[in-house]
Amino acid sequence: MGMTITEKILARHAGKKEVLPGEIINARVDLVFANDNTGDLAVDQFKKAGFDKVFDKNRVIFVADHFIPPKDVSCAEQSRRVRVFCREMGLSNFLEVGRVGIEHVLLPELGMIKPGDVIVGADSHTCSAGALGAFASGVGSTDMAAAMAKGELWFKVPETIKFVYKGTPGRWISGKDLILYTLGQIGVQGATYKAMEFSGEAVEALTLDERFTMANMAIEAGGKNGIFHVDQKTIEFLKPRVKTDYEIVSSDPDANYAEVHEYDVTDISYQVALPPSPGNVKSLSDIGNIQIDQVVIGCCTNGRLEDMRVAAKIMRGKETNFHIRTIIIPGSQEIYLQALQEGLIETFIRAKAAVSLPTCGPCAGLHMGILGEGEKALATTNRNFVGRMGHKTSEVYLASPAVAAATAIKGYISTPEEVM
């Protein structure tokens, strides 16, 4: 019996010829990371357990992205404890404000993610790295502490669901629309405990940035990981970034899938996830007139250069609606700089949008754009649970950067065609 890409990667890291779904294995991990928030708890667990060194100084990384720059003393203390720990352990990899980005945007950019790797991160959106053909899965702080100490971790080998996307999408339809559509089809527990393998001609046509967006939201279906096969575009992305060898792993033609879903993307229109669930997805044309108070473009889902370019193209020469607060968050310092050099930042500022340094900020209701009572946001983020971005009566609508940019101009949830 053949194996899926996920099964093969796990088997190789467990030192086994083959693994079967449901089997519990101990697998070697290539990279372990956490952020300023989850890292604090992981460090605490690591110390309490009495460990005194990490398994490999180059494979343990902390990225400050949730509360940066620290918004209050508690957050400053979380960062400080992680910083002290990194110095004690001799780690050079505590990436701080000024040299940082949102972890899931930054680590691939730095060449830390390679095809065929097993990666665990103490953040649920670690699955984003699957866009590069790695097995990447979010874990908690105790898992992080164990992986930091031992360089291995237990996994239950997941069954795989294969998603095949066919056809050619419309002009402004993006990877975000494809993944929202998928969530609408299978629901927020449609892939619980399972691997989501994305394939088909329509995803091969996507940019890497859009593939990251899709892999990022695998967790919103309950997925253990989201994964793409490596192709020429992946290799081009990796070329300037990854200097060491890597192995390209692919699913066997006779691999076993728990389910296979085929979607024709030709007829998919703009998708919006209505509050309070990322699975509560409708076509934009079916939701009526929804007035918005705040637009957020950024986050580990859509804070990449391509997202900035799309938003700027739609906003260029226009001004955002007077009643809308528009917050744009490039996902990393490199993306910020590139956006600056391409004139995108000037476009945003002239459009009366606020541009923030890279941070998770408003996405999780942490800081830099919290909603008040009854306010509505349209965001390119990944979750719209009750109170996710602030007050418990506030609401979040999830959509693509193109829809977000159009909405910022019009003041209600709009299509790019309405403003172009």
Partner 1 sequence: MEYRGKAWRFGSNIDTDAIIPAIYLHTSDPQILGKHCMEGIDPGFPKKITAGDIIVADENFGCGSSREHAPVAIKAAGISCVVAKGFSRIFFRNSINIGFPIFESEEAPGKIANGDELIVDSDKGVIINVTRKEEYKSIVYPDFIKSIIVKGGLLNSIK
- Nearest distance, CB of residue 207 and partner 1, angstroms: 27
Distance CA(184)–CA(263), nearest Å, equals 12
Contact present, 114 and 97 (Cβ < 8 Å): no
Site for partner 1 contains 149 (CB under 8 A): yes
Q: Which stretch binds partner 1 (CB under 8 A): 108-116, 134-142, 209-217, 319-327?
A: 134-142
Distance CA(286)–CA(265), nearest Å, equals 18
- For partner 1, the closer of residues 12 and 66 by Cβ is 66
Q: Which of 58, 92, 192, 393 binds partner 1 (CB under 8 A)?
A: 192
Give the alpha-carbon dihedral of 68, 329, 120, 386, to 10 degrees.
90
- For partner 1, the closer of residues 216 and 321 by Cβ is 216
Q: Which of 28, 150, 233, 282 binds partner 1 (CB under 8 A)?
A: 150
311 Cβ contact list (under 8 Å, min separation 6): 297, 328, 344, 348, 401, 402, 404, 405
Beta strand residue intervals within 94-174, DSSP E: 94-95, 118-121, 135-138, 152-156, 160-166
Q: Which stretch binds partner 1 (CB under 8 A): 248-256, 298-306, 364-372, 408-416?
A: 364-372
Distance CA(32)–CA(146), nearest Å, equals 10
Q: Which of 387, 412, 415, 420 binds partner 1 (CB under 8 A)?
A: 387
* C-alpha 188: how far from chain center: 16
x/- map, 217-246, partner 1, by CB under 8 A: --x--x-x----------------------
- For partner 1, the closer of residues 106 and 366 by Cβ is 366
Can you say whether residue 351 is alpha, beta or left, with left for phi > 0 and alpha for psi between -120 and 50 degrees? alpha
Q: Which stretch binds partner 1 (CB under 8 A): 139-147, 160-168, 307-315, 331-339?
A: 139-147
Site for partner 1 contains 392 (CB under 8 A): yes
- Nearest distance, CB of residue 46 and partner 1, angstroms: 8
Site for partner 1 contains 138 (CB under 8 A): yes
Other Cβ atoms closer than 10 A to 266: 12
Site for partner 1 contains 41 (CB under 8 A): yes
| DSSP three-state, residue 31 | strand
- Nearest distance, CB of residue 125 and partner 1, angstroms: 8
- Nearest distance, CB of residue 102 and partner 1, angstroms: 14
Pure H helices in 305-357: 305-315, 333-341, 344-350
Q: Which of 4, 37, 301, 407 binds partner 1 (CB under 8 A)?
A: 37
414 Cβ contact list (under 8 Å, min separation 6): 403, 406, 407
* C-alpha 369: how far from chain center: 19
Residues 2-31 contacting partner 1, CB under 8 A? 24
Q: Which of 8, 12, 66, 114 binds partner 1 (CB under 8 A)?
A: 66
Distance CA(113)–CA(133), nearest Å, equals 9
Residues 153-182 contacting partner 1, CB under 8 A? 154
- Nearest distance, CB of residue 41 and partner 1, angstroms: 4
Site for partner 1 contains 74 (CB under 8 A): yes
Tokens 């699955």 belong to 127
x/- map, 260-279, partner 1, by CB under 8 A: -----------------x--
Tokens 């990449």 belong to 304
Distance CA(141)–CA(78), nearest Å, equals 14
Q: Which stretch binds partner 1 (CB under 8 A): 12-20, 66-74, 324-332, 397-405?
A: 66-74
Distance CA(281)–CA(278), nearest Å, equals 7
Size of the site for partner 1 (CB under 8 A): 49
Binding site for partner 1 (CB under 8 A): 24, 37-38, 40-41, 44-46, 48-50, 66-67, 72, 74-75, 78, 122-124, 126, 138-143, 145-146, 149-150, 154, 188-189, 192-193, 219, 222, 224, 277, 364-366, 383, 385-388, 392
